[in-house]
Structure 1
Amino acid sequence: MTRKVALITGGSRGIGAAIARQLAEQGFDIALSFARNKVKANEVAEQISALGRKVALIQADGSTVEGNQLVVRETVKQLGRLDVLVCNAGIGNHKPITEVTSDDIDAVLNLNLRGMMIETSEAVKVMGEGGRIVLMGSAFAGRVPFGGLSVYAATKAGLRGFAQGVARDLGKKGITINVLEPGPIDTDLNPANTEDAQYLSSFVATGAYGQVNDIANAVGFLVSEKAGYITGIAMPVDGGLLA
């Protein structure tokens, strides 16, 4: 494979950064979008450059229509093409429904669901046969083990239906789309060594948090040629949370 390009949104830290490194190791040039943390984004860019791949950093607000259009447009402008889209940017919301406001709903919907829809619709305009789209969902789309997750879980469940519909639209064009559904993953925003983490781990078959590379490896497979006959699915990587 030569000169293929992958765009990872929300790629400056955690799962997104791990995915960027994995795809760079697989030979992709990388476009990386980030909202605020330019220092972290530059660190990831340096790691990708050290692997001999080109990298484009794109600062954008993923909660807006313009921001989601920008990341696709700048990817093609700076790197010449787009072969893989990994929609990773997202936010959480942990409030009981009695405390959720309309602003809470808008914020989570705009980034977690609408943003991914817009990015996908823009990306497929410039993708050719063999294109790959991966939407970052959550195991909470299939199981909500405790309260306070209603809005977040709804956005992630919405990705399942969206991916199924897009798979029908694009299947004969040779473009695949799938949802990857992580369980609890150890990151700086969701560390595995807290009391809350111990509680969540009790719902997982393995009894443990996963690592960012568990997700990156799964993405690496879904965007590879080996996964060309897989589309429209929701793939859990959750240590058995859904078991």
Structure 2
Amino acid sequence: MSSTTVTAPAPRAALVTGGSRGIGAATALRLAEAGADVAITYVQDEEGARAVVAKIEGTGRRGVALRCDAAQADTAAGAVHGAADAFGRLDVLVNNAGIGVLGPIAALSDAEVERVLAVNVRAVFLACRAAADRLADGGRIISVGTALSRYTGGPGSTLYTMSKSALAGLTRPLARELGPRGITVNLIQPGPVDTDLNPAGGPFAEGQRAATALGRFGTADEVASLVAYLASADAAFITGTEVVVDGGHAA
């Protein structure tokens, strides 16, 4: 009787931008736990990036940290190509990196406007453009927006909300464009999430907490679990949509 050698499928590979802390770090670990090799990008937090890579490798998967300042036009695509080259493939792109500059519109400087739009809009577009070339058929693109782009935020959030609202305009047509290859494109809209940038015990927390039906902040793990689901085979029929994870902000 002849024997047949069965070759195991290659592990899936993912890139999570802004993965050295917060939602990005939690997402990277969730994807690794689901069996993916994961690359993350960081700007200055090299120590945090190394810690995340160590956790990824602790699951038995490969981890890579790529330094990438998303405000620079040539780095977003470079990170996509770097992750794909490191793992020999790319199946999941999570556009998580983002910055928020708050303040009255008249007080925002030209430099602040340019940096927010460069990181929150241009870098996401350029990463998606590169991913369209490198993603395997059946791949996933998941972007992280904000519930503020669906429901009115407080004064001072105009620039941040505008930049994140652009992601909805990217998601739907890109889902149509890449759909024939089985690639899904989705946008998640988190509400208040307890992170270093927006701590649940911070000076602006109480109003955010009161605006939710659950009366609390979400956790990075709760958001990461949604990203991991959208990246999974179980979510293959979900594309071109916005999924809100905001504790009932609009309830």
Query: Under TM normalisation by the shorter chain, which class is it?
Result: over 0.9
Aligned residue number for residue 193 of structure 1: 201
CA distance in 1, matches of 2:147, 2:225: 17
CA distance in 1, matches of 2:73, 2:91: 21
Residue in structure 1 matching 2:103, options 89, 95, 98: 95
Structure 2: gaps of 5 or more residues: 1-8
Aligned residue number for residue 165 of structure 2: 157
CA distance in 1, matches of 2:74, 2:166: 22
**Residues 1:70 and 2:62 are matched in the alignment:** no
CA distance in 2, matches of 1:209, 1:79: 35
Task: Say which SS state the counterpart of residue 133 (structure 2) adopts.
Answer: coil
Task: Say which SS state the counterpart of residue 135 (structure 2) adopts.
Answer: coil
CA distance in 2, matches of 1:49, 1:160: 33
CA distance in 2, matches of 1:89, 1:51: 23
CA distance in 1, matches of 2:129, 2:160: 22
**Residues 1:177 and 2:188 are matched in the alignment:** no
CA distance in 2, matches of 1:207, 1:195: 16
CA distance in 1, matches of 2:45, 2:84: 22
Structure 1: gaps of 5 or more residues: none
CA distance in 2, matches of 1:145, 1:73: 36
After alignment, is 108-117 or 64-73 more displaced?
Answer: 64-73
Segments of 4+ in structure 1 off by > 4 A?
A: none
Contact 2:89/2:136, CA 8 A, preserved across alignment: no
- Which structure has the bigger radius of gyration? 2
Any idea what the Cα deviations from partners look like across 1:102-159, whole Å, max 9, x if unmatched?
A: 2221111100111100000001101121100000100011012310001110111110
Q: How many residues get paired?
A: 243
TM-score, normalization by structure 1? 0.97
TM-score, normalization by structure 2? 0.94
Alignment of 1:36-51 (within 5 A): 36-51=44-59
CA distance in 2, matches of 1:127, 1:145: 35
**Residues 1:60 and 2:68 are matched in the alignment:** yes
CA distance in 2, matches of 1:117, 1:99: 27
Contact 2:193/2:220, CA 8 A, preserved across alignment: yes
- How far is 1:194 from its partner? 2.3
Q: Percent identity over the alignment?
A: 37
**Residues 1:18 and 2:22 are matched in the alignment:** no
Contact 1:93/1:108, CA 8 A, preserved across alignment: yes
Aligned residue number for residue 212 of structure 1: 220
Aligned residue number for residue 106 of structure 1: 114
CA distance in 1, matches of 2:45, 2:201: 24
- How far is 1:195 from its partner? 3.2
CA distance in 2, matches of 1:82, 1:45: 17
CA distance in 1, matches of 2:224, 2:73: 27
Task: Say which SS state the counterpart of residue 236 (structure 1) adopts.
Answer: strand
Residue in structure 2 matching 1:9, options 12, 17, 35: 17
Contact 2:24/2:96, CA 8 A, preserved across alignment: yes
